Amino acid sequence: MENPNFVKGYQVDKSTLISLEKGKIPPQAIDLEEVVLGAMMIDKKGVDDVIDILHPEAFYKQANQFVFEAIFKLFENSEPVDLLTVSHQLKKDEKLKLVGGDFYLISLTQKVSSSAHIEFHARIILQKFIQRSLIKISSEIIEEAYDETKDVFDLLDNAEAKLYEVTQGNIKKSSESARDLVHLAKKKIEEISQQDGTSGIPTGFTKLDALTSGWQPSDLIIIAARPGMGKTALTLTMARNIAVEANKGVAFFSLEMSSIQLITRLISSETGLSSEKLRTGKLEKHEWEQLNVKVKNLEKAPLFIDDTPSLSIFDLRAKSRRLASQHDVKIIMIDYLQLMTAGGSNGSGNREQEISTISRNLKALAKELEVPVIALSQLSRAVESRGGSKRPLLSDLRESGAIEQDADIVSFIYRPEYYKMDEWDDDERSPTEGQGELIIAKHRNGGLENIRLKFIGHLGKFENLDDFSTPFEMQSSMNDNPFATDSLPSAEDAFGSTMNSSQGFNDDDVPF
């Protein structure tokens, strides 16, 4: 018996059948669907450009849905996408005959010679799908509105939820360049300092670069710490050094803070201006001049920030591929690992298994793109309950031992000053004020070392320990606050409130 929901190979819904009965053809672009699928099979760049834009339901023709599903599975498993692999995947899924056999796949590749304009074509396909979705939702709303038994406010809530689902599911947030973010934040930035050449990506920290020769391609680097230690501050400092001083592309994925807040932190840390000065704009002439000079340096920096919340590992891989292809990104930073989701079929299982999947895919991404991937990670509360030294251990890595296994480098941030310890637990018993330690606990291709760094809490930045303070740092009224660790003002603080220099922060107050 013929299925009423299928019309000559096209999967249609109730609203579509209504449109056909009325003589209207649902919005579609079958010719573009075929061109896009053909381009994806002949050019890897085509896959990278549109894999995170489209999904199977976006295709009007059912055969094209099956072909895209096959391409998606190959991409998800990091397998090559071409005519033969897609054919093999369709055979495995028992759908090759349903799409028209190898003849149909060959015809798709013959319709296009390159992946030029594929993203533009893909967005047209997506627009057609959104139009069909709106038609379907509208039909359902009309039908439900005639039902007198339903509460009108429930109808409004359901209608809003359905429209929101269409928006969230089909409009992907794109990465924003540093230039755009600086203009949005209306702030400026700092001087460029010289850095020593290394074989990898230089961090700007002399001893760390000497130990690692810079972050190496294909390495997965984990930087872990308890809240308030300065994970985001350290990573942002590295991102700034790499993008501004070394002029190398940086992709920063922030799952916790907005892109405007991150740029504002960079601006504040670079200029050293107090939150009150930023809020009121009462700057001296030389401060305005220096501010205008520094903002040009940041605007030209190849720094790209993506603040998509609850980012899945699949979306991260797709976005990273595009950034590496389009903007020559040389390093990827993620803040932070525990806020990511495995997504799709990989999301099943307990949280430990999900974290294992994420860490494994991060390592695979680093190898595929041949760039270092830095992922921040939280530590368990076992650190806090331990007596004596609070130095983190590898066993303190939260939720999964797979993180330790997959990482090439595991490092911890430790600041005894946070625990009100005045002296380091070494032979010299030197003071801990304004200092932190980057503990290299695992180094697959090198030695282990505890590297002391200078921590400037009120500016939210790290520096080489032997660097001298700049005049800007001396202007802050928060120098005597050892617990203003990562308390660099957010966008709201910088423009709308005055910080209380006498107020400390506990473990849960500081978001990084």
Domain CATH code at residue 190: 3.40.50.300
**Percent of the chain scoring above 90 in pLDDT:** 21
**Are 337 and 464 in a shared domain?**
yes
SS3 assignment, position 188:
coil
Domain containing 385: what range?
Answer: 176-496
Q: Which residue, 100, 98, 378, 78, is CA-closest to 231? A: 378
The whole-number average pLDDT for the span 157-165 is 73
**Are 186 and 209 in a shared domain?**
yes
Q: Is residue 59 part of a domain?
A: yes
Task: Dihedral sign for Cα 40, 44, 49, 52, please.
Answer: positive
Q: Is residue 258 part of a domain?
A: yes
User: What pLDDT does residue 279 have?
Assistant: 58
Q: Is residue 326 part of a domain?
A: yes
The pLDDT of residue 269 is above 90: no
Average pLDDT score, the chain: 77
The pLDDT of residue 379 is above 80: yes
**Are 185 and 220 in a shared domain?**
yes
Looking at 62-71, 162-171, 365-374, which range is the least confident one?
Answer: 162-171
The whole-number average pLDDT for the span 383-387 is 74
Domain endpoint, select from 170, 185, 200: 170
**29: how many CB neighbours lie within 10 A of its CB?**
18
* CA-atom Rg of the chain in angstroms: 26
Q: Which residue, 488, 403, 499, is CA-closest to 442? A: 403
Domain count for the chain = 2
Q: In this structure, what CATH number is given to the domain that contains residue 21?
A: 1.10.860.10
**Are 58 and 12 in a shared domain?**
yes
User: What pLDDT does residue 225 have?
Assistant: 87
Q: Is residue 1 part of a domain?
A: no
105's tokens: 């796949």
H-helix or E-strand spanning residue 373: strand 373-378
**Are 128 and 242 in a shared domain?**
no
CA pair distance 302, 404, nearest whole angstrom? 30
208's tokens: 């760390």
Looking at 279-293, 320-334, 388-402, 493-507, which range is the least confident one?
Answer: 493-507
CA torsion angle for 343, 345, 346, 350 (degrees, to 10)?
100
Q: Is residue 476 part of a domain?
A: yes
**pLDDT tens-place string over residues 104-126:** 999 999 988 888 889 999 999 99
Q: Bigger pLDDT: 119 or 186?
A: 119
Domain endpoint, select from 170, 199, 224: 170
**Are 422 and 485 in a shared domain?**
yes
| Peptide bond preceding 336 in cis form (omega within 30 of 0) | yes
The pLDDT of residue 256 is above 80: yes
- Highest mean pLDDT, choosing among 16-30, 61-75, 336-350, 370-384: 61-75
**pLDDT tens-place string over residues 445-478:** 888 888 888 888 777 788 888 754 443 343 343 4
**Are 101 and 211 in a shared domain?**
no
The pLDDT of residue 512 is above 70: no
Per the CB < 8 A criterion, the answer to whether 374 and 386 are in contact is no
Q: Is residue 432 part of a domain?
A: yes
CA pair distance 160, 287, nearest whole angstrom? 49
Q: Is residue 502 part of a domain?
A: no
User: What pLDDT does residue 276 have?
Assistant: 59
The pLDDT of residue 504 is above 60: no
Looking at 140-154, 296-310, 406-420, 490-504, which range is the least confident one?
Answer: 490-504
Q: Which residues is 452 bridged to in the sheet?
A: 437
DSSP secondary structure letters along 15-65: HHHHHHHTT-PPP--HHHHHHHHHHHHH-HHHHHHHTTT--GGG-SBHHHH
**pLDDT tens-place string over residues 62-85:** 999 999 999 999 988 888 999 999
**Are 163 and 228 in a shared domain?**
no
**Are 259 and 398 in a shared domain?**
yes
Q: Bigger pLDDT: 223 or 345?
A: 223
Q: Bigger pLDDT: 232 or 24?
A: 232
Looking at 35-49, 136-150, 250-264, 383-397, which range is the least confident one?
Answer: 383-397
**Are 140 and 214 in a shared domain?**
no
The whole-number average pLDDT for the span 207-230 is 87
Residue positions annotated with a catalytic role: 256
User: What pLDDT does residue 251 have?
Assistant: 93
The whole-number average pLDDT for the span 86-104 is 92
**Are 322 and 367 in a shared domain?**
yes
**Percent of the chain scoring above 70 in pLDDT:** 75
**Are 333 and 440 in a shared domain?**
yes
Q: Which residue, 32, 68, 31, is CA-closest to 51? A: 68
Looking at 124-138, 151-165, 174-188, 280-294, which range is the least confident one?
Answer: 174-188
DSSP category for residue 203 = -
DSSP secondary structure letters along 286-352: HHHHHHHHHHHHHHTS-EEEE--TT-BHHHHHHHHHHHHHHH-EEEEEEE-GGG-B--GGGG-S-HH
SS3 assignment, position 415:
coil
Domain endpoint, select from 115, 135, 170: 170
Q: Is residue 398 part of a domain?
A: yes
pLDDT confidence tier of residue 193, bands split at 50, 70 and 90: very low
